[in-house]
Amino acid sequence: MTEPANLSEPARCSGAAGDGARATEPGADGLARFREILLDPGALDWSDKSLPGLAQKMLWRDDDSGASIALVRFLRGSGVPSRHAHASNQFMYCLSGRYSYTATGITLAPGSFYWNPKGSMHGPTLAEEDSVLLEFYDGPHYPTQPDWYTDPEDAR
């Protein structure tokens, strides 16, 4: 049987898009093939992280490289408590709210785009309002698990 031509090369992907687009179960090598998919993020539930006030909707993750795309929500008054760096480039597009980097005075507002280069120290942060950000990483999130997370899955 010939597979349709619109399937991806074998890969390991997860998140709502990866789970919904899986066209074949992983083979012996753990790799599956995927087809295109359209998600309705509004129909997905928020998943609370172990940092109070933070939740996410994981849209897509490359399980081998750690690259990911997620919606993240910080409730007013929450944020990341300390300076830190990422193991890859972090990109965020603010959909709603006001999310501030208190050490530098950078504030994301609706329509703003933020790039935090790999290894750049930043934070702490504070959500001045309930804030929703579209967040991209081009590789793994952290070099080591930050102390503000009690669940290692939250640092992925």
Quote the pLDDT of residue 137. Answer: 98
- For the residues 12-26, what does the mean pLDDT come to? 88
Quote the pLDDT of residue 28. Answer: 84
pLDDT band at 24 (very low <50, low <70, confident <90, very high): confident
Quote the pLDDT of residue 3. Answer: 52
Task: Provide the residue count of the chain.
Answer: 156
Q: What domains can be seen in the chain, in order of their start residue?
A: 1-39 (no CATH), 41-155 (2.60.120.10)
Residue 88 in this model has a pLDDT that exceeds 80: yes
Residue 30 in this model has a pLDDT that exceeds 70: yes
- Give the distance from CA 147 to its chain's centroid: 18
C-alpha distances in Å from residue 155, one per residue of 30, 35, 49, 57, 150: 23, 28, 9, 14, 9
Residue 1 in this model has a pLDDT that exceeds 60: no
Across 7-21, 34-48, 109-123, least confident range: 7-21
- Give CA–CA dist 34/18, Å, rounded: 7
> Are 87 and 141 a contacting pair, CB within 8 Å?
yes
Q: State the burial class of residue 10 (Cβ atoms within 10 Å of its Cβ: 0-12, 13-18, 19+).
A: middle
In 3D space, the residue among 54, 30, 60, 79 whose CA is nearest the CA of residue 136 turns out to be 60
Residue 38 in this model has a pLDDT that exceeds 90: yes
